[in-house]
Amino acid sequence: MTIGRQAIMDVYDYKKIDVENIEEIKEMLIKSAKESNLHIVDSKFHKFEPIGISGVLILAESHLTIHTWPEYNYIAIDIFTCGNSINPVAACEIIAKNICSNNFDIKYYERGDKNAISRIGN
């Protein structure tokens, strides 16, 4: 039985986003969520000192999170969706397109089914 689907994306290179600009990160994530047909309920973003940003979009479908590590040129994305109406892998690919990255890895999980796990790489 699958309750939800989750995609976890590791982004190792990006060209189109300033990962130290909290407003730019927030705008990109909201734009990507809307392009993915996700329904945003609320959001919260935080800029760490000296560097790094974490953010979450609470979705009608569940959640989308982002964590940046500028010192490692790395971004972590997590998208969890309940049901089968939204493809979280496609949503990750939209985010990668919006930050202009071809260097990312996506892991996909069907939640609630302990035997269903697969890996999708780029």
Active site residues: 62, 67, 82
| Cα–Cα distance measured from residue 14 to residue 22, given in angstroms and rounded to the nearest whole number | 16
Q: What's 93's DSSP letter?
A: H
The answer to whether the CB of 2 falls within 8 A of the CB of 113 is: yes
Buried residues in 91-104 as b, exposed as e (16+ CB within 10 A): bbbbbbebbebeeb
CB-CB contact of 6 with 119 (8 Å): no
C-alpha span between 69 and 59 (Å, rounded): 24
Q: Does the bond joining 88 to the residue before it have cis omega, within 30 degrees of 0?
A: no
